Amino acid sequence: MKLILIGFGVVGQGFAEILQNKAGQLPGFAPSIIGVITATKGSLYRSRGLDIGALLSAAQTGSFAAYPEQAGLRRDMTASDIISAGSADVLVELSPTNLDTAQPALAYCHQALEAGLHLVLANKGPVALDHANLRNKAASKGLQLRYEATVMAGTPVMQLAEEALAGCAIQAARGILNGTTNYILTQMEAGMSYTEALTQAQALGYAETDPAGDVEGWDAAGKVLILASALFGSRLKMSDLDVSGITRISSDDITEAKAAGQRYKLIAEATPNGGAVKAMRLPLSDPLASVAGSTNAITLETDLMGAVTLIGAGAGKLETGSAILSDLLAIQRVAGSG
Ligand code: HSE
């Protein structure tokens, strides 16, 4: 399975580390990274495959200039050149999320589907803003569009909803969908300042490249758009959602809630009628109140199963890389059975 990666930051490097560590442990799975395109480190292409260890070492220096020479290596190709070079099976989109336009990633996603590549995303922008068109294009070409990493990292909410619960009608999804803000709220309750907690969340690789998207609720809102489209077929826009974040919650507010036996959580909700992201005070008896740190949780309300709740990692390097691996294995299962 020949892969092109757009983006090689925290998630891309986490995914590459996983491939390096799991090589040979996944029977029949033989991935090869043939292209990597980044905004800041440069780009590399080699149709016979790049060396993952050398990619990771070069990334540590901040530039692919440190990647050693190899026969057939190209350093001058754009994302568009590499997609149209015709050697790859899957485009893996891992570049920073842009929830305003989803560009430039969205254009590459469409180009990849048109060129016959399956598409796997950790970047939320294209799925949040253009899921229906991407899904239709993939379906019309017999290609797979997978985006497990976009909601709750490798915690398998999309596979749960779309595959394991395929026979259930899902009526609502509600939960904690942003790791950064949950981490900040947890640390503030333990006495840390907002600024220090945010700095830690950035150092741990939870926060977006621009963390304003996390703390103002937009990252969770992007996930609401993804869920609304995937679960209900809704074509909502950001402006249809009621969104607020945690920036107005002070340490005093958190102490006051604690004294009243309550805890602030940033709750995201998607229903067939719309969606919202809002900080709420929950009683400690609410199961969501005990979801701490960067952990996420989601409850799916279903017709046949009642409430099904999934709790697990919501962000992080290996946790998000795990979702990419899971999606690629799913592509292989389907392609292999076809
Ligand atoms: N910044 C996101 C979060 C990353 O904190 O949840 C995972 O989507």
| pLDDT tens per residue across span 264-305 | 999 999 999 999 999 999 999 999 999 999 999 999 999 999
**Low-confidence residues of the chain: pLDDT under 50:** 338
Q: Which of 151, 180, 317 to mutate to test the pocket of ligand 1 (most atoms within 8 A of CB)?
A: 180
Q: How far is the CA of 49 from the centre of ligand 1 (A)?
A: 30
Cα distance between residue 204 and residue 270, in whole Å: 28
The structure tokens listed for 204 are 């741990």
Q: Which residues line ligand 1 (CB under 6 A)?
A: 153, 178-180, 206-208, 214, 219, 314-315
Q: How far is the CA of 207 from the centre of ligand 1 (A)?
A: 6
Contact 67, 36 (CB under 8 A): no
Q: According to the model, what pLDDT value does residue 338 have?
A: 47
Q: Which atom of ligand 1 is nearest to the CA of 220?
A: 6
| Catalytic residue status for 141 | no
Peptide bond into 126 cis (omega under 30): no
The structure tokens listed for 150 are 């976009």
Query: What does the pLDDT look like over 73-107, one tens digit per residue?
Result: 999 999 999 999 989 999 999 999 999 999 999 99
Q: What is the DSSP string of 222-237?
A: HHHHHHHHHHH-----
Active-site residue among 223, 237, 265, 278?
Answer: 223
Other C-beta atoms lying within 10 Å of the C-beta of residue 333: 12
> Which domains are present in the chain?
2-154+317-337 (3.40.50.720), 162-313 (3.30.360.10)
Q: What pTM did the predictor assign?
A: 0.96
Q: According to the model, what pLDDT value does residue 30 have?
A: 94
Q: How far is the CA of 217 from the centre of ligand 1 (A)?
A: 11
Q: How far is the CA of 184 from the centre of ligand 1 (A)?
A: 12
